[in-house]
Amino acid sequence: MREGWRWYGPDDPVSLDDVRQAGASDVVTALHHVPIGTAWTEAEVARRQWEIEEAAPHRTRLTWSVVESIPIPDDVKRLGGKANASIEAWIASLEAVARCGIRIICYNFMPVIDWARTDLEWELPNGAKALRFDQDRYAAFELFLLKRPGADAAYDDAAKARARAAYEAMTEDDQAELVRVIASALPGSTTEPLTLEGFREKLRAYEGIDAPRLRAHLVAFLERVTPVAEQLGVTLTLHPDDPPRPLFGLPRIASHAEDYAALFDAVPSKANGMCFCTGSLGVRPDNDLPEMVRKFGPRIAFAHLRATKRAPDGLSFHEADHLDGDVDMVAVVRALLREDRSRPQGEKIVFRPDHGHRMLDDLALTKRTNPGYTAIGRLRGLAELRGVMRAVETLDRT
């Protein structure tokens, strides 16, 4: 497998030399400065590609091999194939990427908000900081800050009491920070930052859209874009929902194995692929991750390798060390390597370590970091994953 690293462009506090020194060979990035719904141009893609691959010819070569992500505009999720202008702009971006020789595109289909957390600096027993989703803080936001109509019916009395206690323990600054974390778009998000009123307006726009309708809209989108992708030799990889369950009364349709099986049945094109994110899928105890690799292996072009640890309530979780948590990473890696060995050289799986802890020098108050995307935490994760891969490859040869 090819070792990737997510990079947020020239303003990323983690430099391309940092990526080289971590030992990664492949860069995962996007044109984050281009507004959602605006078509990427070949010139813009080529400029970013030159920065990654050619600007430092004296340095170890890097390859931009995965686009993460070309955002899916909101109207596509609400209207499906009727959002013609947005779909055409997305296809234009796909074509620009393909003309530059980049063959993997990651995307998601989560409505209103992208990946969601309630804490960006949750302290671990060793003093490092992790991302966390706390169910009681989420409920406090939904019930008492967002005040979503109908939210009250989603919780039993005990859950509402815990949410109220969490809310009442917050200062005004705590409340503002929780709103910022949930509504204001995390790094790499493919949705727009929202105010509370903007959040409510977005939710109203999704009234009447249930899981079957949202899935139908995704299928309609893929029926338009996969023929183009297949002709250009590009694989589209759908990232799982994060967390993998409905939020804010909105459906989510890429949360477990049955969701992906239904999608591949509906759109059998070989361009219709999967981003295998072990952290997102691993939050659900009913997802057997090694079995999912065996079942969907040919569809996996891209993988996010990270581990999450579920709390006793079954709904809260935090980002664990890459080889700990509830993900059997060794079994997942073995399954991925077996799939990867069956492929020709130009079709190897690209993986990246995901959501490392903030630790060591990255904890310095004067150091700017992106939550979950610090250099040292991901460096540790990549080193651990690389060690597992070397060991598995050696054992499988004997």
* Residues annotated as part of the active site: 239, 277, 304, 354-355, 373
Tokens linked to 262: 């239904």
Phi, psi (deg, nearest 5) at residue 329:
-65, -35
Is the separation of the CB atoms in 280 and 272 below 8 Å?
no
Long-range Cβ pairs for the range 217-220 (8 Å, 24+): 217/76, 217/77, 217/78, 217/79, 217/80, 217/81, 218/77, 218/80, 218/109, 218/253, 218/263, 219/80, 219/263, 219/266, 219/267, 220/80, 220/81
Which positions ≥6 away from 265 have C-beta within 8 Å?
none
Is the separation of the CB atoms in 295 and 256 below 8 Å?
no
Is the separation of the CB atoms in 275 and 106 below 8 Å?
yes
Q: Give the Cα-Cα-Cα angle 353, 306, 327 (nearest 5 degrees).
A: 145
Place of tokens 């009123």: 197
CA dihedral 243, 249, 254, 258 (to 10 degrees): 110
Strand partners, 276: 303
Measured distance CA(70)–CA(256) in Å, rounded: 23
Measured distance CA(307)–CA(375) in Å, rounded: 17
Tokens linked to 1: 């497998």
Closest C-alpha among 191, 190, 186, 162 to residue 319: 186
Instruction: Tell me the one-letter amino acid at 63.
Output: T
